[in-house]
Amino acid sequence: MARKGILSLGDAFIDFVSQTRDNNSFDRNLGGASVNVAVHISRFAIPSFYITKLGIDEDSIFVEEEMQKEKINLDESVRTSTKKISKVFVHLDEDGERHFHNYENETPDEVVLESDIKGQSFENKAIFYFGSGTLFHPHARAATKKAISLAKEKGLLIAFDANIRLKRWNKEEECREVIRELLPFVDILKLSREELYFLMEVDTVEEGMEELANLNIPFQLVTLGEKGAIGRLLEKKMHVPAEAVNVLDTNGSGDAFMATILFYIHEKGFPNSEEEMVNYIRCANKLGAMVATKKGSLPPLDNYRSLVLK
């Protein structure tokens, strides 16, 4: 049986995004970096599977219904009667710019556990994707390590997008050490420029890429915001500029970028040439830029495949 689909592990959020500068009216939206990637994958018409922990209250029902609308398979997720969905509140400042205001987690120890990770979840899948959102809690970290081990055992490619949120970690050094410990197991790595600096403890992209080269990660990607992205596949390294757009909201652009890369690798495998690698990154830049022109991390867009393939 041919491998099909991408399995993601993460923590689902609800984003409460302010609609007024008084910050007294909020829209409720599905959120979380790993959720964003899983949604984009599904919109590419690729089977998208998601492992998380959900509760049974109104917020969990909202998250589950929204993910089901996006055709994300939650069969491998787990539920408890006490789990509360984490919330992020995004405020508007006087200039109308959005900024992270606060993060609420009423049940910080209700995380995916090692016992929740089953070998059957990895059968016949092509790629396993995760981020750092399941690494700062020791129990979730153990579950993530088990998932990586099972993914390797079952022959899946392993993709990691750091998405570091230092406010969720006890110490910066702990964050750096935990992530660096796992990088040698990764086949596809995406970092922002700032994450590259932080993890490799360098001051320039060039120095950071040199450090990454020592980790023998097959496909490495570093996003540079409005300057595009750098990709390296084995010894081939290319910088691909971004398209100029009128940016409205950058929230979720990196997740759209990552999902596009995973779409191409799922459909075509690793790039076979510099030209093909440039095309993968160019299309990832394109979807990331399109998301940035609209409000929210998961704005409605037309047919995904036609967007990046035309």
Residue 1 lies in a domain: no
189 φ/ψ sector (left φ>0, alpha ψ -120 to 50, else beta): beta
CA end-to-end span of the chain: 30
Residue 222 lies in a domain: yes
Residue 284 lies in a domain: yes
The count of domains in the chain is 1
310 residues of the chain, pLDDT tens digit each: 467 999 999 999 998 877 776 777 778 899 999 999 999 999 999 999 999 999 999 999 999 999 999 999 999 999 999 999 999 887 766 655 566 778 889 999 999 999 999 999 999 999 999 999 999 999 999 999 999 999 999 999 999 999 998 988 999 999 999 999 999 999 999 999 999 999 999 999 999 999 999 999 999 999 998 899 999 998 889 999 998 888 877 778 999 999 999 999 999 999 999 999 999 999 999 999 989 888 778 888 877 777 776 5
Residue 254 lies in a domain: yes
Instruction: Please list, in sequence order, all residues whose beta carbon lies within 8 angstroms of the beta carbon of residue 273, skipping any fewer than 6 positions away.
Output: none
Residue 30 lies in a domain: yes
pTM above 0.85, yes or no: yes
Please give the DSSP secondary-structure letter assigned to residue 243.
P
130: containing domain: 6-309
Helices (H) and strands (E) in the chain, counts: 9, 15
Residue 205 lies in a domain: yes
Residue 189 lies in a domain: yes
**CATH value at residue 20:** 3.40.1190.20
Encoding tokens for residue 240?
A: 């691909």
Residue 253 lies in a domain: yes
Task: Report, in angstroms and rounded to the nearest whole number, the Rg of the chain calculated over CA atoms.
Answer: 18
